[in-house]
Amino acid sequence: MNHAPILPQTAPTWRDTLAPAAAPRPRNRTGRRRLVVTALRHWVGVGLAVACLIFGYIAWRAWNYNPAALAAPAPSAPLREIVVRGDGALGRAWVERTLGVRPGVELMSLDLEALRDRLLQSGQVKVAVVARRFPDVLSVTLEERSPVLRVRAQGADGVDRHLFVARDGFVFVGEGYEDSLVQGLPWLAGVTLARDLSGRGFALVPGMDSVSDLLGTVRASAPSLAKDFQIVSLGRYARDGVILVRTSEVSEIVFGTRDDFYRQIARLDYILDEIRARPAATPVRSINLAIGGRQVPVAFEAPVKEPARSGAAAPARPARPAAAPATAAPATPTFFRI
């Protein structure tokens, strides 16, 4: 029989003095943070292990009792409905017409990329998301371009038609807009529409973001003025940085793009009110709001009468009333001090 040798007891070492089971008790933030991170890692590891076990069990069960379910494809059925969500004028009918997809087509047979391209070809659609919603629904989400101005031009087919210009300068054939909306849009002038590289559309119109800001500001702050905007010209936009607007009352209002539109519109509103308040209103030829400063040059159609002095309730008055004779030349502006 083999006996293990009995050796003498050695002196206690530092390991014998430590309680191995004692949990660490950090007394500063650094130690506590490390302890928490370690504990989290531990429990995340345990959680993952448990999740793997559960998944393994489910897979094992499926393999043993219903192996066909593992290889089965996702359920698919014939298309029942096209669900359209959008932020503009295009509706479900337009989408169905454009896509050319009829209910009853196998959902999985649809080429979503091709369908998306068809939607984007219209130009009115800025972003299109086409997705399958199993088992039998095709979901289409559209983000449309909003028309800012309208223009009349020949399309790729040589036919004259109404086109719309969006904020990003994109020219497109609008569809589904109400007449009141279309009639309320000013015309674009002063630019030549150039064909894009493909030859099917037009190149982007520069300066439309400024026009959009101007129209947005005027609609928000002075809706009555906005209704009166007839033509917006970008003829001097590239050279002088100004936008010209024609209204029923004024032949040419010059807006500067470097100045705040809100201030310019407030001044315009004030000046028009002043002019309307005169006993004999004279047609206004131009109001130049782009100059800035406290004086706004206003040119009247000839002949004009001397502008009436405004009272205390109407502070705007001509800067040099004596210098504006009753038969002034049409080109000589009257300065309104704001």
Partner 1 sequence: MSAFSKSRIVGAVEIGTSKVTVLVGEVAGPKLNLIGLGEFASRGVVKGVVVDSPAAGEATHRALVAAEKSAGVAIEQVYLAQSGAHIDGFYHEATVNVGGLEGRVGQLDIDNVYALAKSKALPPGRCVVHFLRRPFYLDGSLVASPEDIRGDRLAVGVWHVHGDKNRITDGVHIIRNFNLPVTELVLSSLAGGNILTTPEERQHGVLVVDIGAGTTDYAYYLHGRPYVAGVVAVGGNHLTNDLSLGLRITEGQADKIKTLYGRATVSAKDRADAVWLNGDMGIGDRRFPRMTIEQITTARVRELLEVVRKKLGNIYAPGDTLAGVVITGGTSALPGIDEAAARVFEVPARIGSPRVDVADKLRHPAYSTALGLLYQGLSQQIETAATKPVGFMGKFRKAVDSLARL
Binding site for partner 1 (CB under 8 A): 5, 7-14, 16-18, 22, 24-28, 30-31, 34-35, 38
Query: Residue 184 CB: number of other CB atoms within 10 A?
Result: 13
The alpha-carbon radius of gyration of the chain (Å, integer) is: 37
Q: How far is the CB of 202 from partner 1 (least distance, A)?
A: 56
Q: How far is the CB of 30 from partner 1 (least distance, A)?
A: 4
Q: How far is the CB of 55 from partner 1 (least distance, A)?
A: 23
Whole-angstrom CA distances from 268 to 92, 250, 302 are 43, 11, 21
* Element containing residue 49 per DSSP (H, E): helix 29-65
Q: How far is the CB of 191 from partner 1 (least distance, A)?
A: 59
Give the nearer residue to partner 1 in terms of CB position, either 16 or 160: 16
Q: How far is the CB of 56 from partner 1 (least distance, A)?
A: 20
In degrees to the nearest 10, what's the CA dihedral of 325, 326, 329, 330? 130
Give the nearer residue to partner 1 in terms of CB position, either 45 or 283: 45
Q: Residues 272, 218: contact at Cβ < 8 Å?
A: no
Give the nearer residue to partner 1 in terms of CB position, either 35 or 189: 35
For strand 250-256 and strand 284-288, is the pairing parallel, antiparallel, or unpaired? parallel
Peptide bond into 283 cis (omega under 30): no
Give the nearer residue to partner 1 in terms of CB position, either 20 or 199: 20
Give the nearer residue to partner 1 in terms of CB position, either 35 or 173: 35
Q: How far is the CB of 15 from partner 1 (least distance, A)?
A: 9
Give the nearer residue to partner 1 in terms of CB position, either 27 or 258: 27
**What does the alpha-carbon distance between residue 132 and residue 244 come to, in Å, rounded to a whole number?**
48
How would you list the strands of the sheet with 137-144, edge to edge? 81-86, 137-144, 125-133
